[in-house]
Amino acid sequence: GYCMISVLETMKTYSAEDGLTEEALVTKIRTCQCHHLFLHSSLKDNSSGTCRWTEFGEGGLLWGECKSRQFEWFEGNPVDELLFKVKELYGLEDDVTFRNVTVTSEDRPRPLHLGTATQIGALPTEGIPCLLKVLLPRDCSGLPVLYIRDLLLNPPAYEIASTIQEACKLMSNITCSVPEFTCVPSIKLVKLLELREANHIEFCKIKSLLDDILQMYRSPELNAILKLLMDPTWVATGLKVEFEILVNECRSVSGRIGEIISLEGEKDQKISTYSAIPGEFFEDMESSWKGRVKRIHLEEEFAEVDKAAEALSIAVKEDFLPILSRIKATTAPLGGPKGEILYVLIDEICRGTETAKGTCIAGSVIETLDAVGCLGIVSTHLHGIFDLPLRTKNAVYKAMGTECIDGQTTPTWKLIDGICKESLAFETALREGIPDSLIQRAEELYTSVYQPRIKHSTHSPNIYVSDRQTDDARKALGPPSKSVNQLEKLRVAVEKAVISICETKLIEFYGKKNVLELPPMKCVLVSAREQPPPSTIRASSVYVILRPDKSLYVGETDDLEGRIRAHRSKEGMQNASFLYFLVPGKSIACQLETLLINQLSDKGS
């Protein structure tokens, strides 16, 4: 048979495959993306000295494939001569060594015939549909498709094939979520590391991949699959590593990267801010390098930047602002006469109309005043303004300072930085002579209507419904908690509430008499950077999103992986967690979704 030697210059490896038929060799040449093709002189003549290229008319299948490409003849020992030519092509030193990652071809099944590979679409051919697209899920692309195609074109030994089959069986039966495994091209990564050009993004990708492996190692369900994948990985890459060595090295490298690289969520490298200088300036100057490496490794550099930013601010205040003030004194911002500086003082803006619309009108007025550079003060009790997505650059929030004297809250009549959503309405009314009984009743009404919202705000999330539901179904239970373990507490609370709400409907659906006769209902958590197990493919499910802001979103789908991907593609949702459970059919999924939307908020207390 024929022998094919493949050399990866970037990885500094080579491998040899022998015993190949002419069809198998042509198939491999068509599927591999080789930059240079070398043909050994032994192909010209067989042992009898008869030219082999003229066996089939114009030269045979292999010769026809090679003629369509650029190639070069070579002689001598195939491995030595080929490595020499590669070093010559890429300008490598003679002492550079290449590692042999050849996997033995003994006991391997025969590869597909060229015609078969073409007919099933494993080799892209115009006019022939690809069978792999029918066999695999619609959203399956990239590495999984290439791996399956390679298994068909280059079947592994029966032992390895059985291992792959066993891993697939285990994967199809797991109920826990699985890591996302966002793989990066190894050749590109090795090249960047070799040239010392890998940035923090590449290192974060490496750490994510290592952490995914460690997550599989720690999971009781995934650990067995990880062990089974060791040999198939060796066959696919030529890299044979012992299981415990892999785990230990992953733990070591992940920890080392975590010590150096600044990971997402670390807040010790904020962009500089000074009132006299536009924020966009510092954003342009510092965003390209801050947040890359932990500050502890660059303290001197950070100190120099902070010192330079402060010096710039002082220079602007002393040298530039006086000039600007003089210019403003000669041109009024709203078109008034020269020499006049306009100030705007607005007290209790839009209090004479309906609260919600008045709040929005007030917000629009504030945006307009901010845009024209007006100086002034706006006072209001419309606390909803602070929740509006206002587009302002210069507005700052101030509040009335208070102090407690003899158990009574009294104003200091001094402005302080920040937002205040409280009021001294009851205290003021009492001082103005309103009867105690009236104030007491007002406090009771306030407690009955507004106090539960405050109570919910420290314990429960907001409820958001899926896109197909109306806005009337949205129900809020309050803002997020500050506790570090609040997400886990939230998950447990939501899971209990979901099971409690759905059990009655499921009893009715299954025709059972009580909960004990129901099949066990299990909610599965899909945390950040995880995806649901294969058992959810084409299965109906109901899910609840545990959003980063601690609010909830209820939905149903027959494509959970796709729906999770769509949700996480939205801004601020990359780290959202999902709680889901499978149901028998889309009809019951829609009913349970509506049930949860209507009742889940009532469980928040």
Q: What is the CATH number of the domain that holds 407?
A: 3.40.50.300
Q: Which of 104, 120, 135 is the last residue of a domain?
A: 104
Q: Are strands 178-179 and 530-531 parallel, antiparallel or unpaired?
A: antiparallel
Q: Between these two residues, 332 and 206, which has the higher pLDDT value?
A: 206
Q: Are residues 518 and 415 in the same domain?
A: no
Say how far apart CA 462 and CA 476 lie, in whole Å: 4
Note whether 213 and 246 are within 8 A (CB): yes
Q: Between these two residues, 522 and 222, which has the higher pLDDT value?
A: 222
Residues in contact with 565: Cβ distance below 8 Å, sequence separation at least 6, in sequence order: 139
Say how far apart CA 423 and CA 446 lie, in whole Å: 12
Q: What is the mean pLDDT of residues 339-352?
A: 71
Which of 364-368, 375-379, 465-469 has the least mean pLDDT? 465-469
Handedness of CA 435, 441, 446, 452 (dihedral sign): positive
Of 212, 239, 238, 217, the closest CA to residue 228 belongs to: 217
Q: Between these two residues, 603 and 542, which has the higher pLDDT value?
A: 542
In the Cβ-directed half-sphere of 572, how many Cα atoms lie within 13 Å? 6
- Specify if 192 maps to a domain: yes
- Specify if 67 maps to a domain: yes
Q: Between these two residues, 287 and 459, which has the higher pLDDT value?
A: 287
- Specify if 117 maps to a domain: no
Say how far apart CA 227 and CA 134 lie, in whole Å: 30
pLDDT band at 255; cut points 50, 70, 90: very high
Which of 119-128, 227-236, 306-315 has the least mean pLDDT? 119-128
Q: Are residues 77 and 13 in the same domain?
A: yes
Note whether 467 and 536 are within 8 A (CB): no
Q: Are residues 423 and 514 in the same domain?
A: no
Say how far apart CA 201 and CA 73 lie, in whole Å: 42
Domain that holds residue 21: 2-104
pLDDT one-digit tens code per residue, 565-597 = 888 888 878 888 899 998 888 888 888 888 888
pTM tops 0.85: no
Say how far apart CA 223 and CA 134 lie, in whole Å: 31
- For the beta sheet containing 524-526, the strands, ordered from the edge strand earlier in sequence to the opposite edge, are 463-465, 552-557, 541-546, 577-582, 524-526
SS3 470: coil
Asked if pLDDT for residue 472 goes beyond 60, the answer is no
Q: Between these two residues, 138 and 452, which has the higher pLDDT value?
A: 138
Q: Residue 453: what pLDDT?
A: 41
| DSSP H helices in 432-556 | 436-449, 451-457, 486-510
Q: Residue 235: what pLDDT?
A: 84
Q: Are residues 387 and 490 in the same domain?
A: no
Say how far apart CA 522 and CA 507 lie, in whole Å: 15
Q: What is the mean pLDDT of residues 208-212?
A: 92
Asked if pLDDT for residue 525 goes beyond 80, the answer is yes
Residues in contact with 28: Cβ distance below 8 Å, sequence separation at least 6, in sequence order: 4, 17, 20, 153, 154
Which of 11-25, 182-196, 199-213, 508-522 has the least mean pLDDT? 508-522
pLDDT band at 52; cut points 50, 70, 90: low
Q: Residue 339: what pLDDT?
A: 44
Q: Residue 331: what pLDDT?
A: 55
Say how far apart CA 380 and CA 17 lie, in whole Å: 79
Q: Which of 439, 472, 495 is the last residue of a domain?
A: 439
Percentage of residues in the chain with pLDDT exceeding 90? 16
Rg (CA), the chain: 34
Which of 20-29, 90-99, 242-251, 521-530 has the least mean pLDDT? 20-29
Q: Are residues 523 and 598 in the same domain?
A: yes
Q: Can you point out the beta strands (E) in 469-600?
A: 524-526, 530-531, 541-546, 552-557, 577-582
Asked if pLDDT for residue 479 goes beyond 50, the answer is no
Q: Are residues 516 and 434 in the same domain?
A: no
- φ, ψ at 8 (rounded to 5°): -105, 105
- φ, ψ at 497 (rounded to 5°): -65, -45
Q: Residue 10: what pLDDT?
A: 83
Q: What is the mean pLDDT of residues 522-528?
A: 88
Q: Are residues 433 and 487 in the same domain?
A: no
CA dist list (Å): 230 to 196, 243, 245? 29, 7, 12
Q: What is the mean pLDDT of residues 120-147?
A: 78
Of 55, 56, 14, 59, the closest CA to residue 34 belongs to: 14
Tokens of 24: 């198998």
Q: Residue 327: what pLDDT?
A: 63
Asked if pLDDT for residue 90 goes beyond 50, the answer is yes
Q: Which of 15-19, 165-169, 361-365, 478-482 is most confident? A: 165-169
Q: Between these two residues, 491 and 519, which has the higher pLDDT value?
A: 491
Q: What is the mean pLDDT of residues 45-70?
A: 61
Residues in contact with 556: Cβ distance below 8 Å, sequence separation at least 6, in sequence order: 466, 540, 541, 542, 543, 586, 589, 590, 592, 593
Asked if pLDDT for residue 552 goes beyond 70, the answer is yes
- Specify if 112 maps to a domain: no
Asked if pLDDT for residue 135 goes beyond 70, the answer is yes
Q: Residue 460: what pLDDT?
A: 37
Asked if pLDDT for residue 79 goes beyond 70, the answer is yes
Q: Are residues 522 and 595 in the same domain?
A: yes
Q: Which of 104, 134, 155 is the last residue of a domain?
A: 104
Of 13, 22, 12, the closest CA to residue 4 belongs to: 22
Q: Residue 332: what pLDDT?
A: 53
Q: Are residues 21 and 100 in the same domain?
A: yes
Say how far apart CA 320 and CA 276 lie, in whole Å: 9
pLDDT band at 310; cut points 50, 70, 90: very high
Residues in contact with 27: Cβ distance below 8 Å, sequence separation at least 6, in sequence order: 111, 112, 114, 117, 123, 153
Domain count, the chain: 4
Residues in contact with 559: Cβ distance below 8 Å, sequence separation at least 6, in sequence order: 139, 537, 538
Q: What is the mean pLDDT of residues 158-187?
A: 88
Q: Can you point out the beta strands (E) in 177-271?
A: 178-179
Tokens of 72: 């070069």
Q: Residue 483: what pLDDT?
A: 41
Q: What is the mean pLDDT of residues 485-493?
A: 77
Q: Are residues 433 and 496 in the same domain?
A: no
Neighbours of 419 (CB within 10 A): 10
Q: Residue 276: what pLDDT?
A: 83
- Specify if 167 maps to a domain: no
- Specify if 15 maps to a domain: yes
Q: Residue 163: what pLDDT?
A: 94
Note whether 346 and 379 are within 8 A (CB): yes
Asked if pLDDT for residue 532 goes beyond 60, the answer is yes
Q: Residue 38: what pLDDT?
A: 92
DSSP state string for 36-50: -EEEEGGGTB-TTS-
CA angle, 512 then 516 then 520, to 5°: 95
Q: What is the mean pLDDT of residues 225-246?
A: 90
Q: Between these two residues, 474 and 292, which has the higher pLDDT value?
A: 292
Asked if pLDDT for residue 152 goes beyond 70, the answer is yes
Asked if pLDDT for residue 461 goes beyond 80, the answer is no
Say how far apart CA 120 and CA 135 lie, in whole Å: 11
Mean pLDDT of the chain: 79
Q: Residue 452: what pLDDT?
A: 41
Q: Which of 7-11, 68-72, 136-140, 310-314 is most confident? A: 310-314
Q: What is the mean pLDDT of residues 39-44?
A: 83
Note whether 572 and 448 are within 8 A (CB): no
Percentage of residues in the chain with pLDDT exceeding 70? 83
SS3 539: coil
Asked if pLDDT for residue 142 goes beyond 90, the answer is no
Q: Which of 107-121, 425-439, 549-563 is most confident? A: 549-563
pLDDT band at 600; cut points 50, 70, 90: confident
- H-helix or E-strand spanning residue 82: helix 78-90
Q: Residue 70: what pLDDT?
A: 86
- Specify if 385 maps to a domain: yes
Tokens of 599: 């009742």
Tokens of 13: 């490896």
Tokens of 28: 């491999």
Q: Between these two residues, 432 and 51, which has the higher pLDDT value?
A: 432
Note whether 2 and 111 are within 8 A (CB): no
Q: Are residues 535 and 589 in the same domain?
A: yes
- Specify if 151 maps to a domain: no
Note whether 527 and 533 are within 8 A (CB): no
Q: Residue 335: what pLDDT?
A: 52
Q: Can you point out the beta strands (E) in 418-471?
A: 463-465
Asked if pLDDT for residue 372 goes beyond 80, the answer is no
